[in-house]
Amino acid sequence: MSFNYILTDIHDRVGVISLNRPDKRNALNPELVGELKTAFNQFFKDDAVKVIKLRGEGDAFCAGADLAVIKKLKDATYEENLEDSRHLAGLFEIIRNGSKPVVAAVHGHAIAGGCGLASICDIVIASEPAKFGYTETRIGFVPAIVARFLIKKVGETHARHLLLRGNLISAEEAARIGLVTETTSVTNFQETVEKVLRDLVEKCSGQALQTTKALINAAGDQTFQEAVDHAVEVNAKSRGSEDCQKGISAFLNKEKIEW
């Protein structure tokens, strides 16, 4: 795959997507969003990829919308803004609904749309100096697209505080409220990210990972009873899967499972 604004690589069953606009703090523009959609879609379909890692080049993870994009908002028509909004929402939906786990490695600030991009990932590992925040209201903008995903992730109380106030919070605070999975020192950041990726790749069934992610996503849109009924069906069906049969056999025979 060849892109202008991102880098991609596959290494040991990990598909790596790197935001590659370090001079712009990896700010989002329509072209970058489009490239991310293409890369994620291709990795989700690629049998050589089991887990996807999202990262940023340079000092920041992602600073949100590009300044040039923000300037265009003043003169854009409603239809043009609607198309652009759908474009970004489509990226978030692809990541959330994709069949494989996505791990965000956030080494630097994740702001506005960049914070939304990180928070939509399944697992977020953050370096302690990183900052997170939805700063849209401070320039008169509305963090509408990220709101739906954020409320599901951290709950209404924390979402209201972040979205309305528009302030930046530390990686430690982001982890406390559930926006971030784990924080680590700068020194241990790469090692921590790699350990998470290796656990997913080497210790977990790919089939089970895909089914579990789909189960979690579905539960958020179901009533409690619907979620329980669906879980029962998934549980019963998964017991007959090839990976489950393999795992049970290895466990009973005290053999190492090769995933």
Residues designated as active site: 136
| Separation between Cα atoms, residue 70 and residue 247, nearest integer Å | 51
- Give me the count of residues in the chain: 259
- CA pseudo-torsion sign 141, 133, 55, 25: positive
* DSSP secondary structure code for residue 208 in this structure: H
Interior/surface letters 83-122, b for 16+ CB within 10 angstroms, e for the rest: ebeeebbebbebbbebebbbbbbbbbbbbbbbbbbbbbbb
Read off the tokens for 226: 């619907």
CA angle 17, 41, 192 (to 5 degrees): 35
Is residue 192 within 8 A of residue 182, CB to CB? The reply is: yes
